[in-house]
Structure 1
Amino acid sequence: MVESDFGLCTGCWRDAAFIGGLVCDLCGVPLPGAAEAADLVHCDDCMSIARPWTRGRSAFLYRDTARRLVLALKHGDRQDIVNPAAGWMVQAAQPILLPDMLFAPVPLHWTRMLRRRYNQAALLSTAIAARLGQSHCPDLLTRHRRTPSLDKSSRDIRFKTLASAISIAGGRRHRIVGRTVVLVDDVMTSGATLAACTEACLAAGAAQVFVLTLARVAKDA
């Protein structure tokens, strides 16, 4: 039994590592200590790596239930996960929401899109923007160079591989000039993809960029 359609059962809820309390203001990973209203703290990774975005949040740690949800959405065509996931992400994003934000997904290369048939990040960003009544541009960014799977790659290889692989799609620059852009993705690992997307947005005139992910890979995850 679940509380609502597409909700989590008791066992899955117990194993869902929802993020709360004091978190890194750049990636959303939980940190030790009590959260205060004015706390803007950063994790070790975000202090050692220059993050081009301004703020970020994530709903889960990438393990157990969250890992199964992400993989089912990404590779199992489980699009029914999108609506509850969007709700969890909206809840996580509450501290960083501003008026007149533009939500946009991290893009897939067209060859991967052709094989998968959908971009899970775009499904999430569409649902999140709709819930919040905010602007959405599903084709804001384009991945013009195909990159290999980076699932088991080191941080340095991820950043080197994704450098200059993403740009603003033709005819979309006017959408972001002077605005806060929120980049949406399913998982943040090293942050290389989000960094490449952020740099493209800032170069095109965005005022600032926030990031929002369903799950965050943490060192102890």
Structure 2
Amino acid sequence: MPAAATEENLPAREPFSKGIFPCAALKPVRLALGAGLKGLVALIYPPVCVACRNATGEAQALCPHCWGEIGFIERPYCERLGTPFSVDLGPGLLSPAAIADPPVFARARAVCRFESVARELVHRLKYGDRTELALTLGRMMVQAGRELIVEADLVVPVPLHRRRLWSRRFNQAALLAGTVARLAALPYAPAALARVRSTRRQVGLTRSQRADNLQGAFRVPDSTQRLIEGRRILLIDDVLTTGATANAAARALLRGGARQVDLLTFARVVTDG
């Protein structure tokens, strides 16, 4: 089982803007206090699996059974779309889909297939108000997206339209993006991209209908354009389906002056064969 991503085992990063307090000297104290608090909480609330609620060795983790039900995506896969190959034919290969219809974003990576336990976790986060799951999923996203993270300058979530945000009360992509940014020590810009047009729900639409539905839906506000100009953006969403949303968001970021846009999601839909 891969080790969970933590602030301690990730490479150090330069912050977006320098703070005025020498916080490094206080880190041992914070760690000691944090360890003591975690121990006390564990005594009162024994840790359980975030999926099945069975006992686990640590909080915000999966039990061995549920971990085994996650369809992790590992190499070999398409270097552009991140879709897995059944046979390893060597590094740097592109899938027929990436060649025939290249995405707007440069690269896409995902933790796992959108199925089984992974699907349930996404639905609980998105529709079940289980916002604490953003920590668990975000940790796994940091591991899966390491090659994107080391080249990224800024983390940006795929935004919701204000009407959708009002009804849902939170943006799951923003929760995941905030976790990834914190664990990877990357600058986080939740307002760098805006959803300026309310669109139909994408469920049930064809690929072409999804693309038409999202035409002109995203824009970089004038007030945040300076944040993305010339920067390599790590775009975050919960699930990659056809890529229509990611393409529309990436196109808006590139038009706003971004140097490159990579996509990192927790899960992605994979059609075998």
TM-score tier after normalising by the smaller chain length? over 0.9
Normalising to structure 2: TM-score of the pair? Answer: 0.76
Residue 3 of structure 1: how far off its partner (Å): 3.3
Structure 2 Cα separation of the partners of residues 127 and 220 of structure 1: 31
For 1:33, the equivalent position in structure 2 comes to 87
Aligned residues: 219
Inter-CA distance 7–149: structure 2 relative to 1 (3 Å threshold): same
The amino acid across from 1:32 in the alignment is: S
RMSD (Å) for aligned C-alpha atoms = 1.6
Instruction: Using CA pairs under 8 Å that are at least 6 residues apart, name the structure with larger relative contact order, 1 or 2.
Output: 1
Inter-CA distance 17–3: structure 2 relative to 1 (3 Å threshold): farther
Structure 2 Cα separation of the partners of residues 128 and 208 of structure 1: 18
The amino acid across from 1:169 in the alignment is: P
8 Å Cα contact 2:70/2:116 also seen in 1: yes
Inter-CA distance 175–78: structure 2 relative to 1 (3 Å threshold): same
8 Å Cα contact 2:236/2:263 also seen in 1: yes
Structure 1 Cα separation of the partners of residues 110 and 265 of structure 2: 5
Matches within 5 A, 1:90-105: 90-99=142-151, 101-105=153-157
For 2:66, the equivalent position in structure 1 comes to 12
Structure 1 Cα separation of the partners of residues 66 and 89 of structure 2: 26
Matches within 5 A, 1:55-204: 55-99=107-151, 101-204=153-256
Structure 2 Cα separation of the partners of residues 19 and 153 of structure 1: 26
SS of equivalent to 2:61:
coil
8 Å Cα contact 1:109/1:143 also seen in 2: yes
8 Å Cα contact 1:27/1:58 also seen in 2: no
Comparing both structures, which one devotes a greater share of its residues to strand? 1
Residue 40 of structure 1: how far off its partner (Å): 2.2
Percent identity of equivalent pairs: 33
Flag the structure with larger Rg: 2
Structure 2 Cα separation of the partners of residues 148 and 65 of structure 1: 27
> 77-86 or 21-30, which moves further after superposition?
21-30
Unaligned stretches of 5+ residues in structure 1 = none
The amino acid across from 1:134 in the alignment is: L
Structure 1 Cα separation of the partners of residues 97 and 86 of structure 2: 15
Unaligned stretches of 5+ residues in structure 2 = 1-54
Residue 99 of structure 1: how far off its partner (Å): 4.6
8 Å Cα contact 2:78/2:84 also seen in 1: yes
